[in-house]
Structure 1
Amino acid sequence: MPLSERQVAAFADKHAWQIPFDTSPRHLAGPGDARHVTHGLAAAGWSAVSDPLSAEVVLRSPDLRHRLQFDPQSHTSAWWRLRAESTDTEPGWYAEFGELVPAEVLASFTDALVVRPQQADPWQPVISAGWHRDSDGTARSPDSMCRIELRPLSEFHDRPSWHVETRESGHKEFPGPLIWHAYFDERTPAHLVGSFLAALANRSPLQRGLYDRTGHYSAVQEPSPLRPQDVVDAHTARLESLRAQARSARRHQTKPATTAAKTGPAQPAARR
């Protein structure tokens, strides 16, 4: 079921009357509007396969390989789960995200499923943003509340997986309570992880309403120079871009191959 004008209008109705506040750092900005994720995938052709009267939302990609589940009634700390089935040429993989992960940061990850960014070192945008890179495969935000770690799943696994945790400040070596987490298994494509980390470390603030939930009381909120309509317009423009690029990718995949009979040299007729 494609994204409808009514659904886009519902997003606009909410945000058109909500004065935006610039909220930073991003890892403390709070969840925001989940439709940054679901609208983007729907615009790219993903279909809802869940009960429309349920709080749970399940979307599937057009090729049926990817499945995104959003369950705000989850009994675990993971509200978002994304699975990719294995193919003849690519392995399957799994990623999950906690309740308070910013939707805009998660949307950068899911957008990269539609529009593949240039391959890059996932650490590069983190270091460029001023995060402290440790020698043991970890990096910390300037306030030390968010930690990125690349580590083996266990002593029996050679390939490492990515772990991101935002926590309240602890005491000495004891970590504080968990605010949100993200986990990418060892087979998650590097360009997807890189897109998530780049959006997470981006110094630009995220826009939140005055009474929107943030991830922590120490998040800084200031009146934004953006108008409410600017937030709506940015969302609409992103959806149009995703829709166009998804269509282009599908046309490329379904373009019929030129047969050898049309391109090869003519064969002599067989003699009787």
Structure 2
Amino acid sequence: MPLSQRQLAAFADKHAGRIPHDTNPRHLAGFGDARHVTHGLAAAGWSAVSDPLSAEIVLRSPDLRHRLQFDPQSTTSAWWRLKAEPTDTEPGWYAEFGEHVPAEVLAALTDALIAPPPTGPTSPLPVLEAAGWLIDGRGIAYSAPPGCKVLRLPENSAGTVPWREQAHVTWHIDVRDRYDDASRGTHLWHAAFNRHTPEHLVTAFVAALAHPAPLQRGTFDHTAIHHVVQNPSSLTAQQTVDAHTTRIKALRAQARSARRQQTKPTMPPAHADTAQPTSRR
């Protein structure tokens, strides 16, 4: 499913007529525009395999290993589900995200998924600590301002978190309207990654979640809570559109480069001695 100019124009038309507002903190900014995610994957060659007349969107990667499902009519708390099938050398994995996950934050993960993996190890907690989050003695990270908690659950932690795949979750993100001594607040959304999810993807997600820059939301966009901090943005609507277009072009070029590398012919090995044998006298 190549991303068409008509689809990019539809994104531009929607955002060009809005008055953008800087919205902080990111974990309370609300859903945003799903096309931050779907346009990026389409530019990288992912195909839509769902009914085009359905509210559900299902995208599949070119190698058929990865599948992303967006279902705003889900009967569970997860609107997004990302699944990787096992291969001969790698295990399968699964991640899910709740209704109010910001699309721009999820897009950071999907961008990392389609990019070449990092050569060195990555870990979420040092990224959060550098962003000013509080890390307690149990290795649980708390956002500043409060409301978001990131924790790693051990394999035997079944029963400590309220969703189906408890025994398989290692990284979990819980977002509420507040965390304090008197109350845990109202649950807003979650993200969960099972034990085989590549850690650099979790790191990309939390790095985008903890980034200090505000997210752009329109005047009437739904946020996770009604009293989230919003101020008139210094960015124009056109700058928001231009940033999206630039990112899509970069992802498309990256995908083309990767395909060229995969189809590049392999040269036969050079022989050290190419001299012809001498004739016998």
Contact 2:23 2:214 in 1 (8 A): yes
Whether 1:5 and 2:5 are equivalent positions in the alignment is: yes
User: What is the RMSD of the two structures over their aligned residues, measured on CA atoms?
Assistant: 2.2
Shift of 1:254: 2.1
What code does the residue aligned with 1:85 have? E
* Cα deviation 1:65-123 (Å, max 9, x = unaligned): 10000000000000000000111111111000001000000000000011246342222
Q: Which residue of 152, 162, 169 maps to 2:171?
A: 162
* Cα deviation 1:109-143 (Å, max 9, x = unaligned): 00001124634222222111110011112100012
* Cα deviation 1:49-72 (Å, max 9, x = unaligned): 000000000000011110000000
Q: Name stretches of at least 5 consecutive residues in structure 1 with no aligned partner.
A: none
Identity of aligned residues (%): 60
Residue of structure 2 equivalent to 1:190: 199
Distance in 2 separating the partners of 1:176 and 1:83: 30
Contact 1:151 1:162 in 2 (8 A): yes
Distance in 1 separating the partners of 2:272 and 2:3: 44
The count of aligned residue pairs is 269
Residue of structure 2 equivalent to 1:46: 46
DSSP-derived class of the 2:58 partner:
strand
DSSP-derived class of the 1:161 partner:
strand
Residue of structure 1 equivalent to 2:136: 134
Distance in 2 separating the partners of 1:10 and 1:26: 25
Residue of structure 2 equivalent to 1:66: 66
Contact 2:32 2:102 in 1 (8 A): yes
Distance in 1 separating the partners of 2:3 and 2:115: 18
Whether 1:226 and 2:228 are equivalent positions in the alignment is: no
Distance in 1 separating the partners of 2:66 and 2:138: 32
Q: 1:255 to 1:177 in 2, by over 3 A?
A: same
What code does the residue aligned with 1:229 have? Q
Contact 1:116 1:191 in 2 (8 A): no
Shift of 1:198: 0.3
Distance in 2 separating the partners of 1:159 and 1:57: 25
Give the structure-1-normalised TM-score.
Answer: 0.93
Residue of structure 1 equivalent to 2:32: 32
Residue of structure 2 equivalent to 1:243: 252
DSSP-derived class of the 2:235 partner:
coil
Q: Name stretches of at least 5 consecutive residues in structure 2 with no aligned partner.
A: 159-165
Distance in 2 separating the partners of 1:71 and 1:211: 22
Contact 1:50 1:59 in 2 (8 A): yes
Q: 1:11 to 1:266 in 2, by over 3 A?
A: same
